[in-house]
Amino acid sequence: MKSKSGERTLLASVLMSSPGPLVVGTALFFGRSSTQFADFVRRTAELGAIIVSWIVFRIVNKKDELDAAYKDKLERTANICVGAAMCLSGAAMLFIALFSPGSKKGNVIPGLVIAVLGVITNTWFWLRYRRLNREKPNAILAVQSRLYCAKAAVDACVTASLTFVAVAPAKPVAWYVDLLGSVIVAFYLIINGVITIRGKNNVMNWKQTP
């Protein structure tokens, strides 16, 4: 039953994450915030990683006859995808933040709304995955817990940055706040991506206890 709950939660993650890249991508037609553009790259990469995790989780839990080594390999592949997505997102965000021109930001409200909703939704998924993994430890669920904690923190940072840009778009300091938000998010993603790829689940209090 716990595997069913995990699978349903992963499917819900896929469905809830799917509109994000579309909405934020559409918002880019109306605003040119570097944080908003990098946020689009991040959400797209993360969606792909979550889909891979969902597929692998289904395969591993539906086929009991799978060799243990093969199961470990599949789970490791899914977790590497998650870590790679985080590193890719962070690298893209850092590049865009450092090399994007300090031009007028335009309308960032759509991206801001998505970021606020992201804080709420991702916090819920983080707590959900954390509880599921505590009840029945699973490598994929543990990494999803890490991913969603990072996603919630990133969305909080994006929210703060875009709020400042929306409130004072004409202020020169708005560009620096936008830049700072992107850089902080980028490093946070890269660090957590590396940790995920290396498989250190006990770093930064990520180790789950029954």
Amino acid code (one letter) for 15: L
Exposure string for 5-21, b = 16+ CB within 10 A, e = fewer: ebeebbeebeebbeebb
User: Which residue did the predictor score with more confidence, 53 or 210?
Assistant: 53
Q: Count the neighbouring beta carbons within 10 Å of the beta carbon of residue 22.
A: 14
Give the mean pLDDT of 89-99.
Answer: 75
User: Which residue did the predictor score with more confidence, 52 or 42?
Assistant: 52
Pick the closest to residue 47 from 87, 9, 20, 74 (CA basis).
20
Pick the closest to residue 84 from 207, 206, 9, 195 (CA basis).
195
What is the sign, positive or negative, of the torsion defined by CA atoms of 187, 208, 124, 129?
positive
CA 73 to chain centre: 23
* Half-sphere CA count of 50, side-chain side, radius 13 A: 28
Range with lowest mean pLDDT among 89-103, 144-158, 160-174, 192-206: 192-206
Q: Which residue is listed with tokens 């909080």?
A: 156
78 CB-near residues (< 8 Å, 6+ apart): 49, 52, 53, 56, 57, 140, 143
pLDDT band at 100 (very low <50, low <70, confident <90, very high): low
Predicted confidence at residue 124, as pLDDT, reads 94
% of the chain exceeding 70 in pLDDT:
78
For 129-180, what is each residue's pLDDT tens digit?
999 989 888 888 888 888 888 888 878 877 887 787 777 766 677 677 777 7
pTM for the predicted model, two decimal places: 0.71
Alpha-carbon gap, residue 189 to 153, rounded angstroms: 10
Angle at 192 between CA 86 and CA 17, to 5 degrees: 40
Predicted confidence at residue 120, as pLDDT, reads 93
Determine if residue 164 is left, alpha or beta; phi over 0 gives left, psi from -120 to 50 gives alpha, anything else beta. Answer: alpha
Alpha-carbon gap, residue 79 to 77, rounded angstroms: 5
% of the chain exceeding 90 in pLDDT:
6
Give the mean pLDDT of 112-128.
Answer: 89
The structural domains of the chain, ordered by start, are 2-198 (1.20.1510)
